[in-house]
Structure 1
Amino acid sequence: MKASDVKSSGTGPSGTGSPGERSSGSTSSNAGSSGARSPVVPGVRLGRVSFVWRPWMVAVTVLLATATFLVFCLSIAVGDFPIALPQVIATILGGGEQVDEFVIMDLRMPRALAGCVVGVALGMSGAITQSIARNPLASPDILGITGGAGAVAVFLVTVSGGTATAVVNSVGLSGAALAGGLGTGLLVYFLAWRRGVDGFRLILIGISVSAVMEAITTWLLVSADIRDVARAQAWLIGSLDNRSWDDITVALRSTLVLMAVVACVAFQFKPMHLGDEVAAGLGVRYAVVRAVLLLCAVLLAGVAVSAAGPVPFVALVAPQVAMRLVRCPTPPMIASGVVGALLLIGADLIARAALPITLPVGVVTAAVGGPFLVYLLVRANVR
């Protein structure tokens, strides 16, 4: 053995070094390489709940919430009787004159609040379905949930008879639409179940069920009275017109309850991104968690449809935009809800104030969401 070999090996003349020196050198080398590859992410523990602290995600979510509040106030300020934005904020916080309070709180607040609630519900619903299916195309629009709710509502509007009238009088059109969306979501889930839920199979069955629901809706519109068709068509486009506090109260309470359920289950959902086997090894009952989250997604979409009609593409666009803004590999639920509210309130503001004629909000969201869907399809094909 040459002297240079002995020197380079870091051992003594006998070729054996100290075990402590060898282990310490190896440990420091591994630590340095692992630290260079994956920096330590700080975590926070509150009692039995622990989570990863991501400053960028929190900062972006706070900025999105601030922008949503400003657009919310601007939507209230714009109208036939314009009100200054500082006056709107002061009135919302408890100040302001009596005339401004009447215009803001009684006339314009229900519409703006409906846009916020419906946007949050659609954004979170889309984030849940896309995370479970692991596919950016999985949304309540594609899976047929909104189509089922719309078909039930159109049936009750266009079909005159004792049964339909009794249902509308007992649960209302919004309640019937919610039940239709829930039934369609459960149908898609059970048809897609085969020792688990595969994302690709879920989307294919959802597209098929959605096509069936659209065919039923079209047949009802063609065979109904023209006056009922006009009423049903206005509801099908998706609109925030003529909303009252009674229409918003049920949707707001339902959305808050479902958001609380999603927040409780979301911690067990994180390991499922690594695969069902890994989640089962960590003690997660992935089948139960997936079923509960899908049920919450269906109910959130049904609540949104019952409050504003089947507003298209918000549930598809909001999670993908939020995922890119917060730099997260999966759609973030809270940020998706905030982006959904921002998109819907902004679209309603554009439909009312920025266009030559007043249009339903669903027309604007369709004009934005259609090209975004094409972008997702092209991007998937390129990959």
Structure 2
Amino acid sequence: MNTTSTIRLIKQGRQRRFRKWLVINGMLALLAIGLCIAMLLLGNTIYPISEVFQVLMGERVPGAYFAVNTIRLPRMLAGVFAGLAFGMAGHIFQTMLRNPLANPDVLGITTGSSAAALFSILIFQTSNTAVSLASVIAGLVTVLLIYLLSSGSHFSIGRLILIGIGFQAALSAVISYLLMIGSQEDMPAALRWLSGSLNGAKMETLLPLICTVLICAPLLLVLGKHLDILELGEESALSLGLSTNKIRLILILSAVFMIAFATATTGPIAFVAFLSGPIAKRLVGTGYSNVLTAGLVGINLVLGADLIGQFAFEVRYPVGIITGLVGAPYLLYLLIRMNRKGYL
């Protein structure tokens, strides 16, 4: 086989991978649009799509205007932007740290945000704005401490994961203690927030999350092409001329900001950050960045789980309960597989 034939085969393979990437992302986008429409149509009263469209265009349709504009639209937008944030950020952590367990849930980032939010709810009985602010600050402080402690003389992925797991365990203990000493009157709100829920989403509380995603998501998409190089290891990435510390810092900060604001808005929706990356990789494979794919998977997981939690059972469950039921078996499977391969 000559050089020309080899180049042609490489180009054909790349074109096939790109077509597959395009088709998969297009199908995920269409599924997300369908779930968004279902979120707007379904409820105690099912409105026709024509009335929903009129409401979205600003018309005050009797009955439908309040339900769609005040309740269903903010709930749908919360699911879209939180799912996108959890999915993209989770994939960034797992790929950059070369470990499927290295996601914001296991590393303690969402746990730090949750502990601060519960402290605000149970101890200070603060407003939703103060709870969100405390959640964001705690998430940023947690990842900063984990990163600083894991850096040392040189950055170590294994050290970062171990320190993150330690933080997660310690902060989980703090959450348990707060639940024990908290007032019974504040307990329902704390548990509802802790389980991860789209209930009570309002447009004014969504603006920080929307702005954060619109700023950070393009950064992750642009820098996502470097993830494959970072996966090769520190020495290989440096030898290829990649500024690893700078790129890693931007990726981590962007992912953490998205996780922190998403957690502050909806609570820690379980396993979305954990599941989105592996599902995206299984669907698309390698050869192209899966950052966008993971974000779309995250959107579909959150919206689909919320619809199941609302309408599939006699009792309505928060979205985090449904994603937890899906994610927990996968976590056990992953731990068993890693143990058999000698990674644990």
TM-score computed with the length of structure 1 as normaliser: 0.82
Whether contact under 8 Å (1:88, 1:104) holds in the other structure is no
Instruction: Tell me by how many angstroms 1:334 deviates.
Output: 0.5
Instruction: Give the aligned residue type for 2:293.
Output: A
Moved more, 274-283 or 115-124: 274-283
Instruction: Give the aligned residue type for 1:305.
Output: T
Q: 2:28 aligns with which of 64, 70, 73?
A: 64
Q: Give the corresponding residue for 2:3.
A: 31
Q: Give the corresponding residue for 1:350.
A: 308
Tell me: CA distance 1:92–1:68, structure 2 relative to 1, closer, same or farther (3 Å).
Answer: farther
Q: Give the corresponding residue for 2:82.
A: 118
Q: 2:317 aligns with which of 338, 341, 359?
A: 359
Moved more, 200-209 or 262-271: 262-271
Tell me, in whole angstroms, the C-alpha distance in 2 between the residues paired with 1:327 and 1:333. Answer: 12
Tell me, in whole angstroms, the C-alpha distance in 1 between the residues paired with 2:328 and 2:273. Answer: 12
Between structure 1 and structure 2, the one with the greater Rg is 1
Tell me, in whole angstroms, the C-alpha distance in 2 between the residues paired with 1:259 and 1:299. Answer: 10
Whether contact under 8 Å (1:347, 1:364) holds in the other structure is yes
Instruction: Tell me by how many angstroms 1:230 deviates.
Output: 2.7
Whether contact under 8 Å (1:76, 1:88) holds in the other structure is no
Q: Give the corresponding residue for 1:128.
A: 92
**Unmatched 5+ stretches in structure 2:** none
Instruction: Tell me by how many angstroms 1:42 deviates.
Output: 7.9
Trace 1:86-97 onto structure 2 (pairs within 5 A).
Answer: 86-87=49-50, 90-91=53-54, 94=57
Tell me: CA distance 1:246–1:96, structure 2 relative to 1, closer, same or farther (3 Å).
Answer: closer
Q: Give the corresponding residue for 2:73.
A: 109
Q: Secondary structure at the match of 1:226?
A: coil
How many percent identity over aligned positions? 32
Whether contact under 8 Å (1:248, 1:307) holds in the other structure is yes
Tell me, in whole angstroms, the C-alpha distance in 1 between the residues paired with 2:249 and 2:205. Answer: 29
Tell me: CA distance 1:35–1:257, structure 2 relative to 1, closer, same or farther (3 Å).
Answer: closer
Q: Give the corresponding residue for 2:235.
A: 277
Trace 1:176-255 onto structure 2 (pairs within 5 A).
Answer: 176-255=134-213
Tell me: CA distance 1:128–1:103, structure 2 relative to 1, closer, same or farther (3 Å).
Answer: same
Q: Give the corresponding residue for 1:297.
A: 255
Tell me, in whole angstroms, the C-alpha distance in 1 between the residues paired with 2:336 and 2:17. Answer: 34
Tell me, in whole angstroms, the C-alpha distance in 1 between the residues paired with 2:166 and 2:289. Answer: 25
Q: Give yes or no for the alignment of 1:173 onto 2:131.
A: yes
Tell me, in whole angstroms, the C-alpha distance in 2 between the residues paired with 1:123 and 1:221. Answer: 28
Instruction: Tell me by how many angstroms 1:275 deviates.
Output: 2.9
Instruction: Tell me by how many angstroms 1:97 deviates.
Output: 7.3
Tell me, in whole angstroms, the C-alpha distance in 1 between the residues paired with 2:51 and 2:21. Answer: 29
Give me the CA root mean square deviation.
2.6
Tell me, in whole angstroms, the C-alpha distance in 1 between the residues paired with 2:88 and 2:336. Answer: 24
Instruction: Tell me by how many angstroms 1:220 deviates.
Output: 1.4
Tell me: CA distance 1:90–1:225, structure 2 relative to 1, closer, same or farther (3 Å).
Answer: closer
Tell me: CA distance 1:271–1:221, structure 2 relative to 1, closer, same or farther (3 Å).
Answer: same
Whether contact under 8 Å (1:142, 1:210) holds in the other structure is yes
Instruction: Tell me by how many angstroms 1:281 deviates.
Output: 2.9
- 1:267-312 deviation per Cα after TM superposition (whole angstroms, max 9, x unaligned): 4444323333332233221111111111111111101101101111
Q: Give the corresponding residue for 1:40.
A: 11
Q: Give yes or no for the alignment of 1:308 onto 2:280.
A: no
Tell me, in whole angstroms, the C-alpha distance in 2 between the residues paired with 1:330 and 1:373. Answer: 25
Q: Give the corresponding residue for 1:20.
A: none
Instruction: Tell me by how many angstroms 1:376 deviates.
Output: 1.6
Tell me: CA distance 1:213–1:236, structure 2 relative to 1, closer, same or farther (3 Å).
Answer: same
Q: 2:18 aligns with which of 33, 44, 54?
A: 54
Moved more, 278-287 or 244-253: 278-287
**Unmatched 5+ stretches in structure 1:** 1-28, 45-51
Tell me, in whole angstroms, the C-alpha distance in 2 between the residues paired with 1:137 and 1:40. Answer: 34
More RCO (CA 8 Å, sep 6+): 2
Q: Give yes or no for the alignment of 1:156 onto 2:128.
A: no
Whether contact under 8 Å (2:18, 2:288) holds in the other structure is no
Moved more, 263-272 or 350-359: 263-272
Instruction: Give the aligned residue type for 1:79.
Output: G
Instruction: Give the aligned residue type for 1:147.
Output: T
Q: Give the corresponding residue for 2:327.
A: 369
Tell me, in whole angstroms, the C-alpha distance in 1 between the residues paired with 2:78 and 2:167. Answer: 28
TM-score computed with the length of structure 2 as normaliser: 0.90
Q: Give yes or no for the alignment of 1:145 onto 2:109.
A: yes
Instruction: Give the aligned residue type for 2:24.
Output: V
Instruction: Tell me by how many angstroms 1:356 deviates.
Output: 1.1
Q: Secondary structure at the match of 2:107?
A: coil
